[in-house]
Structure 1
């Protein structure tokens, strides 16, 4: 049984993308603040590092790979061949790089251009055998963990400062210049981080794991239970360390374990949301009514994930930078998480309003038009 929303879209991937934006906001907002810490900030930091930091990104990346698998499936279902699919993926990747460039220069937390560059380089893997996908993902996991953990390890050694003030120049001109200088390096390095999750997402899409969660319910239960359990245990020492509550005997090992098991956590969250979607569909089938208002609104947000991912960045820019409202020095970790939740809640309301009035996400519309401009075809797979 396929769990769908309007226009035949699968419910689970959209719910996952909607929830993902909350996880991304919780992971990103604390980067911009450097106010004096208090007890509440320590608790908030612990929970954030345990549940969101370095776990939101693998979920984000897995869903990107899943969307690529959906796109390939639908393209082939229309009778498209590999040559036309490769051209389609190339155009998509190039425009993602362009959008990500603009975003990355403004806010140094971009992943859109990283998606584009990775897809441009690894597009042939979209049609690779399952064994190739799995082995490539496994081989890329260690480099990805090292790249992701690198800034934290360097900060622990006192070599770099990754606090919010360290990434925010005092004036707009300096900020844009810094973004232009660092964007190529960050984008190229970021491609290593997303390969494992992206390839697993493609593999899962081929089996329609989130498109047909009822059929894969046993698998989803096992993945959710095992992966989330591994993430909880493996990330606990690192979360305590980064919250300043405990220093383990080998801090570097705690950091590496925190990142490594974050990949498991991201996949586990996707599986858990697949189970939630199955439950939502059962309730709908029992009552004969539509999905509940929150489920509908969250799915609407997931359908517009690119638009509201960039919306988050715009709000962060307006709130925290020295040349805007400059709240970064006045707020601590807990306040940053509160702002992140508020931004996400506003995003849910705005996305639901757009659904009700029939407006699709402007960035999704733009990317789709640019990607399909030659063939005139449209895909319903979300970016």
Structure 2
């Protein structure tokens, strides 16, 4: 495949032993800290899918019942978390893809072989996602990122910076156009008095289902068509985030934050401001302050799409803010337990992401213990934080023992096979 980069050096054309995963001494704190914090935000944002007995609003996401504390939690999550965390995940995923590819080529692997490695990694991630959805979580995003790893890695990982930025901008323009169309559709629906009928997110995720087999089939249907295939094709903000992750990794923005402080500061300030501003109308509608026809607030409506459109700058703002915090952190805080726990999660993000579902679904879903029927938004948020802490302690113990997460170790064996030298 032709590229816009300079031709590889002779050493790059070798097909020697493939480079193994990054060694401990090569790691920068900021990416691990960002991934660890991201997992806390993800587990918090996923709580809505387990409140299966609650009455939800037009979006089908957050409950419209509960006390003042529940309402405050819902307002904060809609403004600051919903559809902001997953673009952050996509950006970090793209950043990691580029780092993996560059480590391979810098070690002498042929660039095409390194791209094939990404495709193989994407295939295994897709299979991981299938198993995750079949057993626990319809909203699994590992499968979608497996597809994007293979497709975007093949198409763009070796392209020049200009192409990456143009492609990311094109994806955002497509998303902006789609958002504009939803305003027209909502106006027509409001004039006709019609509201699209769709199941709540909890129903789509099979949380209220008491039959484990029926629940698994529902989860797989939602995962395959709505989340994985639909997300891979139409989640333009994720496409843009991954491509921007390629661009940022090529410059070492998170690995060498001291070289990029103006960019990081601007991104943090503007990104978070845009992200929160984009989520505010949906939050105000949810708590009854903003009076609009329900057609504007459904999952295919303009308020929701505005959240999606502003989710990318919000996610990038979070990544930049966490990186700035890691760069400015005094050594006594950097070496403290909270940072160690968070970074340990970041190094084992796949294992911790899957472990969250093990601690969520069987406990909360109707086909399990069914405790999700008895919790409100605030109590569920506390449960989510407790789940993250449990996985953080497990990750920290693995870190102390010098061991990878089980999912990372399995993925490494499947992707690299016996061709990689042991990592230090």
Alignment of 1:10-25 (within 5 A): 10-25=28-43
2:311 matches 1:262:
yes
Residue 275 (structure 2) aligns with? 231
Partner of residue 199, structure 1: 243
Alpha carbons of structure 1 residues 157 and 121: separation in structure 2 relative to 1, 3 Å: same
Deviations 1:112-147 (A, max 9, x none): 110111122222211111121112112222555759
Q: Distance in 2 between matches of 1:47 and 1:69?
A: 33
Deviates more, 1:335-344 or 1:34-43: 34-43
| Contact 2:345–2:352 under 8 Å retained in 1 | yes
Residue aligning to 2:107? 78
8 Å contact kept, 1:37–1:332:
yes
> 2:373 aligns to what SS in structure 1?
coil
Out of 66, 71, 74, the position equivalent to 1:45 is: 74
Q: CA RMSD in A?
A: 2.5
Q: Distance in 2 between matches of 1:5 and 1:99?
A: 24
CA distance in 2 between counterparts of 1:118 and 1:143 reads 17
Q: TM-score, normalised by structure 1?
A: 0.89
Kept in 2, the 8 Å contact 1:41–1:333? The answer is yes
**Contact map agreement 1:12 1:211 (CA 8 A) in 2:** yes
**Paired position in structure 2 for 1:337:** 381
Deviations 1:54-107 (A, max 9, x none): 011111111000000111121121022222112211110110111011012231
Residues 166 and 379 of structure 1: CA distance in aligned 2, closer, same or farther (over 3 Å): same
> Compared with structure 1, are the counterparts of its residues 138 and 313 closer, same or farther at alpha carbon in structure 2 (3 Å cutoff)?
same
Q: Which residue of 2 aligns with 1:113?
A: 143
Please give the TM-score of this superposition, normalised by the length of structure 2. 0.81
Contact 1:93 1:115 in 2 (8 A): yes
Quick check: 1:89 aligned with 2:89?
A: no
Corresponding residue number in structure 1 for 2:323: 274
Q: 1:355 aligns with which of 380, 392, 399?
A: 399
Q: Residue deviations 1:229-253, cap 9 Å, x none? A: 1112222112222344433475543
The correspondence for 1:139, drawn from 159, 163, 170, is 170
Distance in 1, matches of 2:414 and 2:386, equals 32
Distance 1:377 1:133, change over 3 A: farther
Maintained 8 Å contact 1:126/1:202: yes
Report if the CA contact (8 A) 2:119-2:151 is conserved: no
Aligned positions, number: 368
Aligned residue for 1:199, secondary structure, equals helix
Shift, 1:358, TM fit: 2.1
Inter-partner Cα distance in structure 1 for 2:222 and 2:267:
37
SS at match of 2:259: coil
Shift of residue 299 of structure 1?
0.7
The structure-2 alpha-carbon separation of the partners of 1:144 and 1:97, relative to structure 1 and needing over 3 Å to count, comes to farther
Q: Which runs of 5+ in 1 are unaligned?
A: none
The alpha carbon displacement at 1:22 in A equals 0.8
Q: Measure the CA separation in 2 of the matches of 1:379 and 1:119.
A: 23
> For the residues of structure 1 that align with 2:423 and 2:80, how far apart are their CA atoms?
33
Q: 1:232 to 1:26 in 2, by over 3 A?
A: same
Q: Distance in 1 between matches of 2:100 and 2:158?
A: 12
Gaps of 5+ in 2: 1-21, 55-64
Distance 1:181 1:257 in 2: 27
SS in 1 for 2:257: coil
1:59 aligns with 2:88: yes
Change (3 A) 1:378 1:358: closer
Show CA shifts across 1:131-169 (max 9, x none). Answer: 21112112222555759x99xx89x93411224245322
What residue is the counterpart of 1:129 in the other structure? 160
Q: Judging changes above 3 Å, is the alpha-carbon distance between structure 1 residues 297 and 363 closer, same or farther for their aligned structure 2 residues?
A: same
Distance in 2 separating the partners of 1:100 and 1:378: 26
| 2:99 and 2:249 in contact (8 A); partners too | yes
Q: Supply the distance in 1 between the matched residues of 2:201 and 2:288 (Cα, whole angstroms).
A: 14
Q: How does 1:189-338 map to 2 (within 5 A)?
A: 189-191=230-232, 192-193=234-235, 194-248=238-292, 251=297, 252-280=301-329, 283-284=330-331, 291-338=335-382
Q: Give the number of the structure whose alpha-carbon radius of gyration is greater.
A: 2
The alignment partner of 2:367 has SS state of: coil
